Amino acid sequence: MIAAPIHLGADRLMLDPSGALFWPQRRLLAVSDLHLEKGSSFARRGMLLPPWDTEVTLDRLALLLRRYNPAVVVTIGDSFHDREAAARLPAAQAARIRAMTASCRFVWVLGNHDPVPAEQLGGEWVDEFADGNLIFRHQAHPREPGARYNTKTVGEICGHHHPKAAIAVRGGMQTRPCFVADPHRLMLPAFGAYTGGLDVRHPEIMRLFPRGGRVFLLGRERLFSFTLAQAGVPVPAPIATQSFGGGS
């Protein structure tokens, strides 16, 4: 796994191919949109999805905690799929979470899916989390991309939209979850096992990056970097011009 460095304002951050962010200077690890217990949330409504999604998501998080040994963990909202999800956690998984929140400073930023704290799991529950020049919040504030905040230029780290991007490659398109970044804002892909994605060209995402930006597509071993403008551009159709030049 090769992490890729980017700069947000003056801060150097590492993007991990798992979809997590590591801030070496603060030893801070951030992930977004875990959507724990999404499986059981669907099961309540009659779709009996395989019940291991929380376990898989926590396995992936545990791996990152071992690799980066962070001093601070921030989950940027929608950590739980619904208001009752924390209460539905299987005992073993709840215990794992408590062990994680006890092992370092663990900050839960609240999201729209999980607006209420689940204090019994430990950690701090906040609406947003600021450190130095960076602010971590679930949903980006569209009005202040790179605006002044507390008299300093800040970078914003957000989630919520589950960005994914399609890139034209030889013979077709490749679609992956991705980070989206401009010099002032970084949007994380969803980290949860059952989380789908929204194409970065959706207006909801595009309006947050009015001056363009880069996408970093998650690969098996590393990230693949393209400009936001390259995302979703279709493969040129070789047949189109050829056929119209043909004929008589």
Partner 1 sequence: MEGTLPELFLQWFSARGWQPRRHQLSMVAAARAGQSCLLIAPTGGGKTLAGFLPTLVELSEPRKHVLHTIYISPLKALATDIARNLVAPVTEMALDIAIETRTGDTPANRRRRQREAPPDILLTTPESLAVLLSSATATEMFAHLSCVVIDEVHALAGTKRGDQLALCVARLRALAPGMRTVGLSATVAHPAELMAYVGAKTLVEEPDGEPPVINLMIPDGRMSWGGHMGIESAPKILALIRQAGMTIVFANTRAQVELIFQALWRLNEENLPIALHHGSLEIDQRRRVEAAMSDGRLRAVVATSSLDLGIDWGGVDQVLQVGAPKGVSRLLQRVGRANHRMDEASVATLVPANRFEVLECEAAIEGIAAREMDGDPPRPGGLDVLAQHLLGMACAAPFLPDDAFREVSATQPYADLTRADFDAVLGYVETGDYALHAYEHFRKLFRDSEGRIHVRSARIAALYRMNIGTIVASPVLKVKLVGKRAFGPVLGEIEEGFANSLRPDDAFIFAGRKLKFLRVNANMVEVSEGAERDPLIPTYAGSRMPISTNLAGRVRALMQSPDTWHRFPGQVQEWLRLQSRRSRMPGPDDLLVEIFPRAGRWYLVAYCFEGRNAHQTLGMLLTRRMQRAGYFPLGFVATDYVVGVWSANQPTEVEELFGEDMMGDDLEEWMADSSMLKRSFRNVAVIAQLIQRNQPGSARSGKQVTMNTDLIYDVLRRHQPDHVLLRATRADAAHGLIDVARVSGMLARVQGRIVPVVLSRVSPLAIPALLDIGREQVGVGIDRDDLLAEAEAIVAEGMAEDEPAPRKRRLVKRDVAAKHALVAS
Report long-range pairs for 233-242 (Cβ below 8 Å, ≥24 apart). 233/168, 234/168, 234/173, 235/168, 235/169, 235/171, 235/172, 235/173, 236/168
Shortest separation between residue 138's beta carbon and partner 1, angstroms: 20
HSE-CB for 158 with a 13 A CA cutoff: 23
Select the residue interacting with partner 1 from 1, 49, 71, 147 (CB under 8 A).
49
H-type helices in 70-152, by residue range?
85-88, 91-103
Only segment of 39-47, 107-115, 131-139, 143-151 that touches partner 1 (CB under 8 A): 39-47
Cβ of residue 126: shortest distance to partner 1, in angstroms? 28
Shortest Å, Cβ 1 to partner 1: 12
Binding mask 6-35 for partner 1 (x = CB under 8 A): xx----------------------------
Applying CB under 8 A, among 10, 47, 143, 148 the residue interacting with partner 1 is 47
Is 44 near partner 1 (CB under 8 A)?
yes
Q: Nearer Cβ to partner 1, position 137 or 184?
A: 184
4 binds partner 1 (CB under 8 A): yes
Selected from 73, 167, 187, 208, the binder of partner 1 by CB under 8 A is 167
Q: Is 237 in the site for partner 1 (CB under 8 A)?
A: yes
Task: Give Cα 237 distance to the centre of its chain.
Answer: 33
CA distance 80 to 96: 15
Instruction: Please give the torsion angle defined by the CA atoms of residues 49, 51, 55 and 57, in that order, rounded to the nearest 10 degrees.
Output: 10
Q: Which stretch binds partner 1 (CB under 8 A): 60-68, 72-80, 102-110, 206-214?
A: 206-214
Q: Please give the Cα distance from 5 to 67 (Å, whole number).
A: 17
Q: Exactly one of 112, 119, 173, 210 binds partner 1 (CB under 8 A); which one?
A: 173
Tokens 């996408």, residue? Answer: 215
- How far apart CA 88 and CA 83 sit, in angstroms, is 10
Query: Toward partner 1, which CB reaches closer, 44 or 83?
Result: 44
Q: By CB under 8 A, is residue 93 in contact with partner 1?
A: no
Identify any residues that bridge with 174 across adjacent strands, giving them in sequence order.
167
- Is residue 46 a contact point for partner 1 (CB under 8 A)? yes
Q: What is the 3-state secondary structure (H, E, C) of 126-189?
A: ECEEEECCEEEECCCCCCCCCCEECCEECEEEECCCCEEEEEEECCEEEEEEEEEEECCEEECC
Residue recorded with tokens 């070496």? 24
Establish if 50 lies at the interface with partner 1 (CB under 8 A). yes
Which amino acid, residue 147?
A
| Sites of contact with partner 1 (CB under 8 A) | 2, 4-7, 40, 43-44, 46-53, 55-56, 90, 164, 166-176, 181-183, 193-197, 199, 201, 212-214, 217, 219-227, 230, 232-234, 237-244, 246-248
